[in-house]
C-alpha cells in the first residue's frame, strides 16, 4: 500500500546523493537510495521535469521524493 | 567512448537531428568515431560519411532492423529490434541485402526472419538493441530463460561479434534491467557494451522528437503511445554524462567504454570509394564494347557530317580514347541502346545535360545538338580526373516514358536496375498541419491557419500568421481544450506512479485518481496551486556534487508560437521516401549489394539513396524524364501528316528561318517551349535573338544565376551595341568571346578556372562541383583559396583573382550549361516553327496535352483566335476525343467536357463511324454515355448541329433516358417519334451559354469572360488591355482582367507578378511588396481584378506597375450579351 502526499520537504545533499530530508518538521535520515529516475514531460503546457529518488530511511520506511526546479517534494510513502 | 546506436532524422519521424549535426556534436565531445543506425535504412549514410570526413571523425555505417519471430510462439515479442554495424565492404553488402529483404518482403512494416538473416552475417557486428531488443523484452517480462536462449541464438550467428547492449535512460527500472542483462551476458559468455539509443543531439530536442512520434502514430501530445519517451535522456551524451546515468562501478563502466572503442576500431568501411561498374553490354561475337562503340560512332559520324572533316575525326578519336581510358564504353552503349529502343518505337526523345557536350553522344543519336557547330566543351562532360559518372539526361515523350522505364527494368532485370529515390521533406504547410494536429488544434482551426501560409519556408510563417492577426490567438481561442483527453495509464507511469512499471506495487493512493495534467487545465491535487504558492524555500545544501541542474526555460508560450517554433525546426526534415522522377540505377553486380532497396507506394523497386548520393557513391544513374513538349511536337507532326499528307522532318530543320525569329522577337510566344512566360516576353523584347546561337543564350539568360548575378542587363546592352565589349582579362577573350565578355554558361566557369586561374580541367570541374554543392563559409573559403592561389601562381593579380572568383562563385550553382541550353534551343525552334507554319495543328496539340504550358486552356484558345484561327466548339458529329485541326481551324475535343473519359470519348467516335447522329435518341441509343455526360454535352452545345434548342434537348433527355433502349450497333438507328409535345422554351442567353461552357469545360471556344464585363467597364472609364498600347509609358491607367497567373519568385525580392487577361490580350502586372501587402487578400482571393497603375513598356510588350487593386466581381456588372473583342491585339496588327 502506498499513500500520496505531494508535500514540500527540505533535503540535505552530499556527494551527488540525497542524505536526509525533513518532512512535517521531522528529520529522516536516508540509509539507501533504491532507485533514481528522471521524468520530463508535458513541455507543451507547463513542463514537468523531475528527478525522482526512491529512498529507504532510518525508520525503515520507504519514500519517494522528487526535485522539481529548485524545490523538493515528498510524493509517496510506502507502508 | 563512442556512440554505436544512433538515430538521425532519417529514421523518419523518430530521430530529431540531421546526421551532420550529430557528427558535429560527437566532434565537440571529442569522440573519434560515430555510428549511424537508422531504422531499416541507409538513407542518410552518404551525408553522414561526408560530414564525418569533413570533421575528421570515423563514420560507422549501420542500421537498426526489426526481426519477424515465429508467430506460433505467443511469448515472443513483436518485431524485436537488432542493431547491425558494417565492419567492411562485405559487411556493407550484407547489410544492404538484409535491409532490402526486410523492406521488399514487407512493404509497410519491414522485418526479416533471423533464419533469413543468418547466411549474411559476415562482416557485421550485432548489438542486442534497446528495450525492444529480443533479450531485453524477455527480461522486462520476467522471462529469464527465454532471454538467455535468445542471446545464445544470436551468439550462434554472430559469434564474438554479438554484444549485449546496455542502456540507461534514468527510467525507474533501467538499473534493474542493466543488471539483468549483465547477468545474461555472463551466463552466455558474451561481452557487454554501452549505448544510448540516441535520437537527438541535444537534450532540448526531445520536444521535437515527441512531436515527430505523435505525427508518426497519429496521436496528439496529450495521448501516450508506446514509442514516446518519458524524459529527454536520449541525446548524444558525453562519456561523463553516461557514467552519471549508469552509476556503475568505475571498473565496470570503463570496461564497457572500452568495448565501444574495440568495436569502433574493428569497423573500417570507406563508403565513398564504393563504386559500381556499368553493366557489361552484350556485343556481337568478335567485338568488344569499345570496338562496337567505335563502329557505331563511325557510322553515325558519316551520316551526320557530310563531308566528314579532319576536325570531327580528331575530336571523335580524342573522346573515344578518353572513354576507353575511363572504362565507359559499356556505359555509352547502354544509353545508345535505350535511345535506339525509343526511336524504333516512335517515342520522341532528346538528350541533354553535359552529355550534349560530346560528339560521341551526338553521332550515337543520344543528343541532337552538334557540338562542333555550337562550340561545346567536352571536358565539361567527361575528363579523366572527373569524379563520378557522366551525366546523361534524356527527355522522352511524357505519354510514353513508362514504356522506356519498363524496357530498362525488363532488360536489366530487378537484380540490376531500380529507380532512384527522392526524399520528400517538410515544407511549412505540411509541417504546420502535422505539428498543429499533434499539439491538439482542431481540424477547423488548422484549415483556417494553414490557408494563410504560402509555399515559402517555415521561417516566413510567423510573418504570415502575424499579418493576418492569427498570432494573437490565445490558448482559450485555439479550441484546444475540447481536444484534450484524459491521459491513459502509460502516462501516469511516467510521472512516477511508475513503480507500477516493474510490477512491484500498485499505486493505490488515498486521494482521487491523480494525473496532474489530465483533462482540463486545473490539476486536481493542487500541484500548481498550494504547493507552489507557498513553498518552504528548500535548503538544498550542496556538498561535493550538486544535484542535477534544473532543465532549461522551456518552449515559448502560446500554443501557436510553439507550433511555429517546431515548424521552423522541422523545415527541410525528411518526411518520407518517394520516387525520383525518372532517375534509374543500373549496375553490373547485384544491386542489393551496393545500395538497399525498398518498395515505393506504387510497388516499384526504389533504392534508398537520392540522386546526389548516388552520384557521390560513383554509381551510374540515367535520367529518364518526361517532357510534355515532346508529346506536343509529336502530336502536331502527326496531325500535319494525317490531315495534310505532309511529312515534316522536324528534327532536321535549318534553324535559320527569319520568319521564325520574327515571331520570337515579337514576344508572341504563348505555347513556345521555354520562352512563353511574361518574364521572357520582356527579355525577348530586349535581347532580340536572331540566330540559333542567340536562342541558346536566351534560354540560359533567364535563370536565377544570371538574373541575380546581374549579367542580363550588361549582356543585352553589349548585344544591342550600346555598351562596349570588354573582357576582365585578356586570357578570357577566347572563352567569353561569343557571349560578349559575360559569363553566362556553366562551361564558361570551367574555362575561366582553366584559362584564367590555370587549373587543370579536372580540378576546375571539381571546383565547380564543390561550389555548387557546398554552402558553408568554411567550404567556400577552401574553394576560394584553391582558385585564387592557383591564379596568383601563374601571375594574375590577387585582387582581380578574388573578383573573378566572386563572379563565378555566385553563378556556379545556378547557371545553365551551354549543351543543355543548346538541346533545349532545338526544341524551342521546333515549337516556334510549328507555331509559324502549322499553328492550327500546333495549338490543337497543346490544348490536347493541357495542363502543360504556362497558361490555362482558355488563354491558349484566345491566342489561337488572335492568331487568326477559329476555335470550334465540341460537336458530337465532328469532334474526336482530342483537339484536332479542321480545315485550318481548331476543333475542341470531347475530352474537354466534364464527365467524358478517354473510353467514353473514343466510344462516341467509334459509334458515330461514318453515320452522323441524327437526333438525341439516335445519339442516346448508339452510345453508352451516362446521363450526366449527355446533359453536359447538350449544355455546351455539342448537339447544336441537330438544330434543336438546348433547353428543349435537356427536357427531352429525361424522356429519352427512360424510354429509348441502348443499342451497340452503329447501323441501327432509332428514329424515335418526334411527335412528343415539347414545350416552347426560350433560347439560352449568351451569358448562360458562356456560364455553361466554363462550368462544364473550364474553357469556351466561343466566349471570353471579360467581354461580358466590357460595357460596364467602359462606362466606368476602364481600358481594355488591347487599348493600353496607345498610352505612353509612365501614364497612369485603370484596366481589368482575369488572373491567369500569380507568382512570387524567391529571387525577386518580395515582388509579386500577375498576369491578367481579357478578350484582347494578356497583361503582366507587377506589385511592389508594400502594394501586395496592402491588397493581399484581394490579390490572392479574387479570380478577376481591376488594377490601377503606371504603364511600362519594352518594345511591344506592355506591362503595368500596379498601385491599387480591386476585386473585379464586386465592381463590374455582367451583361447577358458580350461586346465583340477589338480587332487589335495587344500591340500587334492583326496577323
Which pLDDT belongs to residue B914?
A: 87
Which pLDDT belongs to residue B507?
A: 26
Whether residue A8 and residue B528 make contact (CB cut-off 8 A), yes or no, is no
Q: Tens digits of per-residue pLDDT, B249-264?
A: 999 999 999 999 999 9
Better pLDDT: B243 or B510: B243
Which pLDDT belongs to residue B476?
A: 32
- Residue B525 pLDDT more than 70? no
Highest mean pLDDT out of B492-506, B542-556, B803-817: B803-817
- Residue B1080 pLDDT more than 80? yes
Whether residue A4 and residue B233 make contact (CB cut-off 8 A), yes or no, is no
Residue of B nearest to A64 (CA): B496
- The grid coordinates of residue B757 equal 586561374
Q: Of B372-381, B646-655, B850-859, B976-985, which gets the smallest average pLDDT?
A: B976-985
Which pLDDT belongs to residue B582?
A: 81
**What is d(CA B1098, CA B1104) in angstroms, rounded to the nearest whole number?**
11
For B744-756, letters b (16+ CB in 10 Å) and e give: bbbbbbbbbbbbb
Q: Of A68-72, B292-296, B379-383, which gets the smallest average pLDDT?
A: B379-383
B531 closest CB neighbour out of A54, A73, A78: A73
Tell me the nearest-neighbour CA distance from B7 into chain A, angstroms. 20
- Residue B632 pLDDT more than 90? yes
**What is d(CA B383, CA B391) in angstroms, rounded to the nearest whole number?**
12
- Residue B529 pLDDT more than 60? no
Q: Tens digits of per-residue pLDDT, B453-465?
A: 665 555 666 666 6
pTM of the complete model: 0.72
Q: Tens digits of per-residue pLDDT, B171-193?
A: 999 999 999 999 999 999 999 99
Which pLDDT belongs to residue B496?
A: 33
Interface check for B764 against chain A (CB to CB < 8 A): the answer is: no
Residue of B nearest to A75 (CA): B496
Average pLDDT of chain B? 83
Better pLDDT: B1022 or B706: B1022
Determine which of B441, B547, B548 to mutate to test the interface with A (most A C-beta atoms within 10 Å). B547
- Residue B502 pLDDT more than 70? no
A16 closest CB neighbour out of B496, B521, B545: B545
Going by C-alpha positions, the residue among B399, B16, B452 that lies closest to residue B199 is B16
The CA–CA distances, whole Å, from B237 to B2, B6, B19, B29, B1089 equal: 10, 11, 16, 8, 59
Please state the length of chain B.
1135
Whether residue A38 and residue B233 make contact (CB cut-off 8 A), yes or no, is yes
* Phi, psi of B829, rounded to the nearest 5 degrees: -60, -40
**B 113-172 near A (Cβ less than 8 A):** 169-172
Which pLDDT belongs to residue B486?
A: 30
Determine which of A44, A55, A75 to mutate to test the interface with B (most B C-beta atoms within 10 Å). A44
**A 27-46 near B (Cβ less than 8 A):** 35-46
Whether residue A48 and residue B541 make contact (CB cut-off 8 A), yes or no, is no
Whether residue A72 and residue B538 make contact (CB cut-off 8 A), yes or no, is yes
Sign of CA dihedral B982, B985, B989, B991: negative
Average pLDDT value for residue range B1129-1134: 40
Contact B355, B392 (CB under 8 A): yes
- Residue B304 pLDDT more than 50? yes
Q: Number of Cβ pairs closer than 8 Å across A and B?
A: 136
**What is d(CA B1089, CA B1115) in angstroms, rounded to the nearest whole number?**
9
Which pLDDT belongs to residue B498?
A: 30
Instruction: Name residues whose C-beta falls within 8 Å of residue B883's C-beta, 6 or more positions apart in sequence.
Output: B844, B845, B847, B848, B890, B891, B892, B893, B896
Amino acid at each position: 500500500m502506498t499513500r500520496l502526499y505531494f508535500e514540500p520537504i527540505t533535503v540535505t545533499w552530499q556527494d551527488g546523493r540525497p542524505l536526509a530530508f525533513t518532512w512535517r518538521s521531522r528529520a529522516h535520515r536516508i540509509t539507501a537510495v533504491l532507485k533514481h529516475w528522471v521524468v520530463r514531460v508535458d513541455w507543451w503546457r507547463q513542463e514537468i521535469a523531475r528527478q525522482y529518488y526512491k529512498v529507504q530511511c532510518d525508520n525503515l520506511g520507504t519514500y519517494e521524493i522528487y526535485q522539481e526546479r529548485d524545490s523538493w517534494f515528498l510524493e509517496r510513502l510506502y507502508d | 567512448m563512442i556512440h554505436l546506436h544512433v538515430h538521425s532524422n532519417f529514421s523518419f519521424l523518430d530521430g530529431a537531428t540531421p546526421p551532420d549535426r550529430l557528427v558535429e556534436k560527437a566532434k565537440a565531445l571529442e569522440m573519434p568515431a560515430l555510428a549511424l543506425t537508422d531504422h531499416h535504412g541507409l538513407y542518410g549514410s552518404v551525408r553522414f560519411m561526408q560530414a564525418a570526413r569533413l570533421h575528421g571523425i570515423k563514420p560507422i555505417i549501420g542500421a537498426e532492423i526489426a526481426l519477424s519471430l515465429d508467430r506460433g510462439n505467443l511469448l515472443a515479442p513483436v518485431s524485436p529490434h537488432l542493431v547491425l554495424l558494417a565492419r567492411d565492404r562485405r559487411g556493407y553488402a550484407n547489410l544492404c541485402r538484409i535491409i532490402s529483404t526486410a523492406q521488399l518482403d514487407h512493404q509497410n512494416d519491414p522485418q526479416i526472419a533471423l533464419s533469413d538473416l543468418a547466411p549474411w552475417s559476415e562482416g557485421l557486428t550485432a548489438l542486442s538493441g534497446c528495450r525492444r531488443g529480443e533479450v531485453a523484452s524477455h527480461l522486462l517480462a520476467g522471462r529469464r530463460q527465454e532471454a538467455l536462449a535468445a542471446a545464445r541464438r544470436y551468439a550462434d550467428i554472430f559469434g564474438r561479434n554479438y554484444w549485449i547492449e546496455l542502456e540507461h535512460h534514468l527510467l525507474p527500472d533501467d538499473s534493474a534491467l542493466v543488471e539483468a542483462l549483465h547477468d545474461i551476458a555472463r551466463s552466455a559468455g558474451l561481452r557487454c557494451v554501452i549505448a544510448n539509443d540516441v535520437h537527438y543531439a541535444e537534450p532540448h530536442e526531445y520536444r521535437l522528437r515527441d512531436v515527430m512520434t505523435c505525427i508518426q502514430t497519429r496521436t496528439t501530445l496529450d495521448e501516450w503511445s508506446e514509442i514516446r519517451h518519458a524524459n529527454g535522456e536520449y541525446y548524444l551524451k558525453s562519456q561523463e554524462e553516461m557514467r552519471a546515468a549508469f552509476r556503475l562501478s568505475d571498473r565496470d563502466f570503463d570496461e564497457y567504454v572500452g568495448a565501444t572503442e574495440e568495436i569502433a576500431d574493428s569497423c573500417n568501411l570507406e563508403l565513398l570509394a564504393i563504386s559500381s561498374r556499368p553493366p557489361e553490354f552484350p556485343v556481337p561475337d568478335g567485338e568488344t564494347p569499345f570496338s562496337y562503340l567505335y563502329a557505331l560512332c563511325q557510322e553515325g559520324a558519316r551520316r551526320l557530317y557530310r563531308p566528314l572533316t579532319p576536325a570531327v575525326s580528331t575530336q571523335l578519336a580524342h573522346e573515344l580514347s578518353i572513354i576507353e581510358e575511363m572504362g565507359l564504353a559499356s556505359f555509352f552503349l547502354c544509353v545508345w541502346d535505350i535511345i535506339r529502343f525509343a526511336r524504333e518505337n516512335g517515342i520522341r526523345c532528346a538528350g541533354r545535360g553535359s552529355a550534349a557536350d560530346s560528339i560521341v553522344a551526338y553521332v550515337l543519336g543520344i543528343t541532337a545538338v552538334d557540338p562542333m557547330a555550337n562550340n561545346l566543351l567536352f571536358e565539361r562532360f567527361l575528363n579523366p580526373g572527373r569524379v563520378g559518372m557522366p551525366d546523361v539526361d534524356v527527355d522522352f515523350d511524357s505519354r510514353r516514358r513508362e514504356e522506356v522505364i519498363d524496357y530498362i527494368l525488363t532488360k536489366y532485370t530487378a537484380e540490376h536496375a531500380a529507380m532512384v529515390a527522392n526524399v520528400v521533406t517538410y515544407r511549412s504547410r505540411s509541417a504546420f498541419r502535422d505539428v498543429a494536429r499533434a499539439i491538439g488544434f482542431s481540424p477547423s482551426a488548422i484549415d483556417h491557419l494553414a490557408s494563410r501560409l504560402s509555399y515559402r519556408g517555415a521561417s516566413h510563417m510567423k510573418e504570415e500568421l502575424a499579418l493576418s492577426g492569427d498570432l494573437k490567438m490565445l490558448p482559450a481561442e485555439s479550441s484546444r481544450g475540447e481536444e484534450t483527453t484524459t491521459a491513459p495509464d502509460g502516462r501516469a507511469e511516467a510521472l512516477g506512479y511508475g513503480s507500477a512499471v516493474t510490477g512491484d506495487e500498485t499505486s493505490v493512493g488515498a486521494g482521487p485518481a491523480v494525473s496532474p495534467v489530465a483533462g482540463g487545465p486545473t490539476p486536481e491535487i493542487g500541484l500548481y496551486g498550494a504547493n507552489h504558492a507557498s513553498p518552504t524555500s528548500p535548503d538544498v545544501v550542496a556538498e561535493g556534487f550538486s544535484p542535477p541542474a534544473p532543465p532549461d526555460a522551456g518552449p515559448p508560450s502560446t500554443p501557436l508560437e510553439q507550433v511555429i517554433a517546431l515548424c521552423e525546426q522541422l523545415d527541410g526534415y525528411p518526411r518520407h521516401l518517394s520516387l525520383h522522377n525518372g532517375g534509374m540505377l543500373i549496375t553490373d553486380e547485384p544491386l542489393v549489394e551496393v545500395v538497399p532497396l525498398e518498395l515505393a507506394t506504387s510497388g516499384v523497386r526504389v533504392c534508398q539513396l537520392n540522386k546526389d548520393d548516388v552520384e557521390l557513391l560513383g554509381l551510374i544513374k540515367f535520367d529518364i524524364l518526361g517532357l510534355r513538349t515532346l508529346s506536343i511536337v509529336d502530336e502536331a507532326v502527326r496531325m500535319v501528316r494525317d490531315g495534310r499528307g505532309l511529312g515534316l522532318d522536324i528534327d532536321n530543320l535549318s534553324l535559320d528561318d527569319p520568319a521564325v525569329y520574327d515571331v520570337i522577337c515579337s514576344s508572341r510566344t504563348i505555347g513556345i517551349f521555354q520562352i512563353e512566360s511574361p518574364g521572357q516576353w520582356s527579355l525577348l523584347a530586349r535581347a532580340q535573338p536572331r540566330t540559333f546561337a542567340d536562342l541558346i543564350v536566351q534560354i540560359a539568360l533567364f535563370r536565377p544565376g544570371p538574373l541575380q548575378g546581374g549579367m542580363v542587363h550588361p549582356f543585352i546592352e553589349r548585344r544591342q551595341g550600346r555598351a562596349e565589349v570588354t573582357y576582365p582579362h585578356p586570357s578570357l577573350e577566347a572563352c567569353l568571346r561569343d557571349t560578349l565578355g559575360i559569363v553566362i554558361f556553366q562551361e564558361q566557369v570551367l574555362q575561366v578556372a582553366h584559362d584564367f586561374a590555370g587549373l587543370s580541367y579536372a580540378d576546375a570541374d571539381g571546383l565547380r562541383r564543390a561550389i555548387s554543392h557546398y554552402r558553408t563559409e568554411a567550404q567556400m573559403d577552401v574553394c576560394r583559396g584553391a582558385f585564387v592561389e592557383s591564379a596568383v601562381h601563374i601571375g594574375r593579380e590577387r585582387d582581380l583573382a578574388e573578383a573573378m572568383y566572386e563572379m563565378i562563385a555566385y553563378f556556379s550553382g545556378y547557371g545553365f550549361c551551354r549543351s543543355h541550353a543548346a538541346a533545349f534551343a532545338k526544341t524551342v525552334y521546333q515549337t516556334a516553327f510549328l507555331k509559324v507554319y502549322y499553328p492550327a495543328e500546333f495549338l490543337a496539340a497543346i490544348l490536347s496535352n493541357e495542363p502543360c504550358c504556362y497558361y490555362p486552356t482558355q488563354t491558349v484558345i484566345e491566342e489561337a483566335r488572335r492568331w487568326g484561327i477559329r476555335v470550334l466548339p465540341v460537336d458530337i458529329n465532328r469532334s474526336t476525343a482530342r483537339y484536332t485541326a479542321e480545315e485550318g481551324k481548331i476543333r475542341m475535343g470531347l475530352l474537354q467536357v466534364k464527365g467524358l473519359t478517354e473510353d467514353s470519348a473514343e466510344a462516341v467516335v467509334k459509334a458515330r463511324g461514318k453515320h452522323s447522329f441524327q437526333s438525341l435518341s439516335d445519339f442516346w441509343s448508339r452510345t453508352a454515355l451516362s446521363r450526366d455526360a449527355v446533359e453536359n454535352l447538350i449544355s455546351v452545345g455539342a448537339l447544336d448541329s441537330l438544330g434543336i434548342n438546348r433547353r428543349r434537348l435537356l427536357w427531352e433527355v429525361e424522356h429519352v433516358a427512360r424510354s429509348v433502349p441502348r443499342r451497340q450497333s452503329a447501323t441501327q438507328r432509332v428514329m424515335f417519334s418526334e411527335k412528343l409535345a415539347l414545350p416552347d422554351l426560350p433560347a439560352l442567353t449568351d451569358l448562360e451559354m458562356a456560364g455553361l461552357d466554363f462550368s462544364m469545360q473550364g474553357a469556351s471556344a466561343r466566349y471570353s469572360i471579360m467581354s461580358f464585363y466590357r460595357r460596364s467597364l467602359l462606362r466606368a472609364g476602364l481600358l481594355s488591355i488591347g487599348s493600353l498600347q496607345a498610352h505612353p509609358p509612365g501614364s497612369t491607367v485603370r484596366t481589368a482582367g482575369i488572373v491567369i497567373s500569380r507568382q512570387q519568385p524567391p529571387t525577386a525580392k518580395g515582388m509579386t507578378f500577375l498576369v491578367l487577361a481579357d478578350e484582347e490580350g494578356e497583361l503582366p502586372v507587377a506589385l511592389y511588396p508594400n502594394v501586395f501587402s496592402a491588397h493581399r487578400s484581394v490579390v490572392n482571393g479574387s479570380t478577376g481584378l481591376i488594377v490601377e497603375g503606371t504603364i511600362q513598356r519594352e518594345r511591344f510588350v506592355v506591362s503595368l506597375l500596379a498601385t491599387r487593386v480591386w476585386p473585379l466581381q464586386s465592381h463590374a456588372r455582367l451583361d447577358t450579351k458580350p461586346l465583340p473583342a477589338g480587332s487589335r491585339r495587344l500591340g500587334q496588327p492583326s496577323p
